[in-house]
Amino acid sequence: MGLLEGKKLLVTGVLTEGSIAFHVARLAQEQGADVVLSSFGRQFRLTEVIARRLPAPAPVIQLDVTSAEDLEALAGRVAEHTDHLDGVVHSIAFAPQSIMGGNFLAGEWKDVATAIEVSAFSLKSLAMAAKPMLTVGSSIVGLTFDGRFAWPVYDWMGVTKAALEATSRYLARDLGPAGIRVNLVSAGPIRTTAAKSIPGVSQLEQGWPERAPLGWDVNDPVPTAKTVAALLSDWFPATTGEMVHVDGGVHAMGA
Protein backbone atom coordinates (compact mmCIF):
# COMPACT_ATOMS: atom_id res chain seq x y z
CA MET A 1 0.00 0.00 0.00
CA GLY A 2 1.43 3.36 -1.05
CA LEU A 3 1.91 6.40 1.12
CA LEU A 4 -0.83 8.25 -0.81
CA GLU A 5 -3.08 5.31 -1.62
CA GLY A 6 -6.52 6.54 -2.64
CA LYS A 7 -5.66 10.24 -2.31
CA LYS A 8 -7.07 12.71 -4.82
CA LEU A 9 -4.65 15.55 -5.50
CA LEU A 10 -4.53 18.77 -7.50
CA VAL A 11 -1.00 19.68 -8.60
CA THR A 12 -0.17 23.05 -10.14
CA GLY A 13 3.03 24.07 -11.87
CA VAL A 14 3.88 21.05 -14.04
CA LEU A 15 5.69 22.52 -17.04
CA THR A 16 8.72 20.31 -17.81
CA GLU A 17 10.18 17.05 -16.57
CA GLY A 18 12.57 19.20 -14.54
CA SER A 19 9.72 20.83 -12.62
CA ILE A 20 9.50 19.97 -8.94
CA ALA A 21 5.75 19.68 -9.47
CA PHE A 22 6.25 17.04 -12.18
CA HIS A 23 8.14 14.85 -9.74
CA VAL A 24 5.53 15.46 -7.05
CA ALA A 25 2.85 14.26 -9.46
CA ARG A 26 4.97 11.27 -10.51
CA LEU A 27 5.76 10.20 -6.95
CA ALA A 28 2.17 10.74 -5.88
CA GLN A 29 0.92 8.42 -8.61
CA GLU A 30 3.56 5.84 -7.75
CA GLN A 31 2.34 6.03 -4.13
CA GLY A 32 -1.26 5.37 -5.11
CA ALA A 33 -2.77 8.85 -5.65
CA ASP A 34 -5.02 10.06 -8.43
CA VAL A 35 -3.68 13.35 -9.78
CA VAL A 36 -5.30 16.27 -11.57
CA LEU A 37 -2.99 18.90 -13.06
CA SER A 38 -3.67 22.56 -13.79
CA SER A 39 -2.22 24.94 -16.35
CA PHE A 40 -3.19 27.95 -18.43
CA GLY A 41 -2.40 30.01 -21.51
CA ARG A 42 0.52 29.01 -23.70
CA GLN A 43 1.72 26.62 -21.00
CA PHE A 44 -1.43 24.52 -21.19
CA ARG A 45 -0.36 22.52 -24.22
CA LEU A 46 3.11 21.97 -22.70
CA THR A 47 1.54 20.61 -19.52
CA GLU A 48 -0.63 18.22 -21.54
CA VAL A 49 2.45 16.92 -23.35
CA ILE A 50 4.48 16.49 -20.15
CA ALA A 51 1.51 14.81 -18.42
CA ARG A 52 1.86 11.92 -20.86
CA ARG A 53 5.25 11.15 -19.30
CA LEU A 54 3.71 10.44 -15.92
CA PRO A 55 3.19 6.82 -14.85
CA ALA A 56 -0.57 7.17 -15.38
CA PRO A 57 -2.83 9.53 -17.35
CA ALA A 58 -3.56 12.82 -15.57
CA PRO A 59 -6.20 15.27 -16.75
CA VAL A 60 -5.21 18.94 -17.11
CA ILE A 61 -7.67 21.66 -16.16
CA GLN A 62 -7.56 25.39 -16.88
CA LEU A 63 -6.45 27.58 -13.96
CA ASP A 64 -4.97 31.06 -14.05
CA VAL A 65 -4.68 32.02 -10.38
CA THR A 66 -5.07 35.71 -11.26
CA SER A 67 -8.40 35.07 -13.02
CA ALA A 68 -11.52 35.41 -10.87
CA GLU A 69 -13.41 33.40 -13.48
CA ASP A 70 -10.96 30.49 -13.34
CA LEU A 71 -10.89 30.50 -9.55
CA GLU A 72 -14.68 30.46 -9.37
CA ALA A 73 -14.82 27.59 -11.85
CA LEU A 74 -12.06 25.52 -10.23
CA ALA A 75 -14.22 23.30 -8.03
CA GLY A 76 -16.49 22.48 -10.95
CA ARG A 77 -13.57 21.66 -13.21
CA VAL A 78 -12.01 19.41 -10.58
CA ALA A 79 -15.41 17.75 -10.00
CA GLU A 80 -15.36 16.52 -13.59
CA HIS A 81 -12.54 14.17 -12.57
CA THR A 82 -13.03 13.49 -8.85
CA ASP A 83 -15.68 14.09 -6.21
CA HIS A 84 -13.24 15.52 -3.64
CA LEU A 85 -9.65 16.54 -2.99
CA ASP A 86 -7.30 15.30 -0.29
CA GLY A 87 -4.49 17.65 -1.21
CA VAL A 88 -3.37 20.63 -3.27
CA VAL A 89 0.16 21.51 -4.36
CA HIS A 90 0.95 25.19 -4.91
CA SER A 91 3.94 25.42 -7.25
CA ILE A 92 3.32 28.87 -8.72
CA ALA A 93 5.68 31.82 -8.87
CA PHE A 94 6.49 34.66 -11.22
CA ALA A 95 8.28 37.99 -11.07
CA PRO A 96 9.27 40.25 -13.95
CA GLN A 97 13.02 40.20 -14.56
CA SER A 98 13.02 43.96 -13.98
CA ILE A 99 12.75 43.38 -10.21
CA MET A 100 15.40 40.66 -9.91
CA GLY A 101 19.06 40.34 -10.77
CA GLY A 102 20.26 43.23 -8.63
CA ASN A 103 17.38 45.57 -9.41
CA PHE A 104 15.85 45.73 -5.93
CA LEU A 105 16.19 49.51 -5.52
CA ALA A 106 14.91 50.15 -9.05
CA GLY A 107 11.85 47.94 -8.63
CA GLU A 108 8.52 49.56 -9.51
CA TRP A 109 5.27 48.81 -7.73
CA LYS A 110 3.39 47.54 -10.78
CA ASP A 111 5.98 44.81 -11.25
CA VAL A 112 6.22 44.07 -7.53
CA ALA A 113 2.43 43.87 -7.33
CA THR A 114 2.39 41.31 -10.15
CA ALA A 115 4.98 39.19 -8.34
CA ILE A 116 3.09 39.31 -5.04
CA GLU A 117 -0.27 38.49 -6.62
CA VAL A 118 1.03 35.53 -8.61
CA SER A 119 3.56 34.18 -6.13
CA ALA A 120 2.01 34.86 -2.70
CA PHE A 121 -1.64 35.95 -2.78
CA SER A 122 -2.29 33.03 -5.13
CA LEU A 123 -1.82 30.59 -2.25
CA LYS A 124 -4.84 32.10 -0.54
CA SER A 125 -6.74 32.30 -3.85
CA LEU A 126 -6.04 28.66 -4.67
CA ALA A 127 -6.86 27.47 -1.16
CA MET A 128 -10.24 29.19 -1.15
CA ALA A 129 -11.08 28.05 -4.68
CA ALA A 130 -10.26 24.45 -3.77
CA LYS A 131 -11.84 24.54 -0.30
CA PRO A 132 -15.30 23.25 -1.39
CA MET A 133 -13.58 20.08 -2.62
CA LEU A 134 -11.19 19.59 0.31
CA THR A 135 -11.94 16.98 2.95
CA VAL A 136 -11.21 16.93 6.67
CA GLY A 137 -7.57 15.91 7.05
CA SER A 138 -6.57 17.32 3.67
CA SER A 139 -3.26 19.05 3.02
CA ILE A 140 -2.16 22.12 1.09
CA VAL A 141 1.57 22.22 0.36
CA GLY A 142 3.41 25.12 -1.25
CA LEU A 143 6.97 25.56 -2.47
CA THR A 144 9.22 28.40 -1.35
CA PHE A 145 12.84 29.56 -1.25
CA ASP A 146 13.53 30.65 2.30
CA GLY A 147 12.19 34.22 2.55
CA ARG A 148 13.91 34.96 5.86
CA PHE A 149 17.10 36.08 4.14
CA ALA A 150 18.24 38.63 1.57
CA TRP A 151 19.68 36.45 -1.19
CA PRO A 152 21.89 37.62 -4.06
CA VAL A 153 19.92 38.54 -7.22
CA TYR A 154 16.59 37.25 -5.79
CA ASP A 155 15.48 40.76 -4.80
CA TRP A 156 11.70 41.29 -4.94
CA MET A 157 11.05 37.60 -5.52
CA GLY A 158 12.57 37.10 -2.08
CA VAL A 159 10.04 39.57 -0.70
CA THR A 160 7.21 37.65 -2.36
CA LYS A 161 8.46 34.41 -0.79
CA ALA A 162 8.40 36.08 2.63
CA ALA A 163 4.80 37.08 1.86
CA LEU A 164 4.01 33.54 0.75
CA GLU A 165 5.37 32.16 4.01
CA ALA A 166 3.32 34.59 6.08
CA THR A 167 0.25 33.77 4.00
CA SER A 168 0.70 30.05 4.70
CA ARG A 169 0.74 30.68 8.44
CA TYR A 170 -2.47 32.71 8.37
CA LEU A 171 -4.12 30.08 6.17
CA ALA A 172 -3.03 27.42 8.65
CA ARG A 173 -4.73 29.43 11.39
CA ASP A 174 -7.99 29.98 9.51
CA LEU A 175 -8.32 26.62 7.73
CA GLY A 176 -7.27 24.50 10.69
CA PRO A 177 -10.79 24.38 12.18
CA ALA A 178 -11.95 22.82 8.89
CA GLY A 179 -9.32 20.11 9.28
CA ILE A 180 -7.11 21.48 6.48
CA ARG A 181 -3.34 21.59 6.97
CA VAL A 182 -1.16 24.21 5.24
CA ASN A 183 2.60 23.79 5.03
CA LEU A 184 5.52 24.86 2.87
CA VAL A 185 8.66 23.16 1.63
CA SER A 186 11.70 25.42 1.32
CA ALA A 187 13.99 23.92 -1.29
CA GLY A 188 17.59 24.73 -2.03
CA PRO A 189 18.40 26.03 -5.52
CA ILE A 190 17.19 23.68 -8.25
CA ARG A 191 17.66 24.35 -11.96
CA THR A 192 14.00 24.47 -12.92
CA THR A 193 12.67 26.57 -15.79
CA ALA A 194 11.58 29.23 -13.28
CA ALA A 195 15.01 29.35 -11.62
CA LYS A 196 16.78 29.71 -14.96
CA SER A 197 14.73 32.85 -15.66
CA ILE A 198 16.33 34.67 -12.69
CA PRO A 199 19.16 36.93 -13.93
CA GLY A 200 22.41 35.84 -12.32
CA VAL A 201 20.88 32.76 -10.72
CA SER A 202 24.31 31.10 -10.59
CA GLN A 203 25.10 33.43 -7.66
CA LEU A 204 22.38 31.66 -5.66
CA GLU A 205 23.77 28.25 -6.52
CA GLN A 206 27.39 29.16 -5.95
CA GLY A 207 28.93 27.22 -3.10
CA TRP A 208 25.63 25.64 -1.99
CA PRO A 209 26.82 22.02 -2.35
CA GLU A 210 29.93 22.82 -0.33
CA ARG A 211 27.98 24.60 2.45
CA ALA A 212 25.39 21.84 2.75
CA PRO A 213 26.32 19.21 5.37
CA LEU A 214 24.45 16.60 3.32
CA GLY A 215 25.64 17.99 0.00
CA TRP A 216 23.31 19.35 -2.65
CA ASP A 217 22.57 18.56 -6.30
CA VAL A 218 21.07 21.56 -8.11
CA ASN A 219 19.85 19.22 -10.85
CA ASP A 220 17.87 16.88 -8.59
CA PRO A 221 14.30 17.89 -7.66
CA VAL A 222 13.41 14.48 -6.25
CA PRO A 223 14.33 15.08 -2.56
CA THR A 224 12.07 18.14 -2.54
CA ALA A 225 9.27 16.26 -4.30
CA LYS A 226 9.50 13.41 -1.77
CA THR A 227 9.04 15.87 1.10
CA VAL A 228 6.01 17.41 -0.57
CA ALA A 229 4.54 13.94 -1.03
CA ALA A 230 5.14 13.14 2.63
CA LEU A 231 3.34 16.31 3.74
CA LEU A 232 0.41 15.38 1.50
CA SER A 233 0.13 12.05 3.30
CA ASP A 234 -1.54 11.17 6.60
CA TRP A 235 1.82 10.95 8.36
CA PHE A 236 1.79 14.62 9.45
CA PRO A 237 -1.73 14.82 10.95
CA ALA A 238 -0.91 17.53 13.53
CA THR A 239 1.56 19.60 11.50
CA THR A 240 0.43 22.89 10.00
CA GLY A 241 1.88 26.36 9.52
CA GLU A 242 5.29 24.73 9.11
CA MET A 243 8.12 25.34 6.65
CA VAL A 244 10.22 22.23 6.07
CA HIS A 245 13.70 22.85 4.68
CA VAL A 246 15.00 20.56 1.96
CA ASP A 247 18.33 22.25 1.23
CA GLY A 248 21.00 19.85 2.40
CA GLY A 249 21.12 21.68 5.74
CA VAL A 250 22.35 25.08 4.53
CA HIS A 251 19.61 26.92 6.43
CA ALA A 252 21.08 25.73 9.75
CA MET A 253 24.68 26.72 9.07
CA GLY A 254 26.18 30.00 10.27
CA ALA A 255 28.54 30.26 7.32
pLDDT digits (tens, 9 = 90+) for 173-190: 999 999 999 999 999 999
* Residue 9 CB contacts under 8 Å (≥ 6 apart), including other chains: 25, 28, 33, 34, 35, 36, 85, 86, 87, 88, 89, 232
Residues annotated within a binding site for substrate: 95
Residues with Cβ within 8 Å of 79's Cβ and at least 6 positions away in sequence, in order, are 133
Cβ–Cβ under 8 Å, residues 77 and 122: no
Binding residues: 13, 19-20, 64-65, 92, 95, 161, 190-194
First to last CA, the chain: 42
Give pTM, 2 decimals.
0.96
Cα 219 to Cα 52, 120, 193, 207, 216: the distances in Å are 22, 25, 11, 14, 9
Task: Work out the average pLDDT over 27-40.
Answer: 98
CB atoms inside a 10 Å sphere around CB 28? 28
Cβ-based burial of 81 (10 A; exposed 0-12, middle 13-18, buried ≥19): middle
Which residues does the annotation place in the binding site for NAD(+)?
Answer: 13, 19-20, 64-65, 92, 161, 190-194
Residue 205 pLDDT = 81
pLDDT class for 26, splitting at 50, 70, 90?
A: very high
pLDDT of residue 206: 86
Query: 157: exposed, middle or buried (C-beta count within 10 Å: 0-12, 13-18, 19+)?
Result: buried
pLDDT confidence tier of residue 194, bands split at 50, 70 and 90: confident
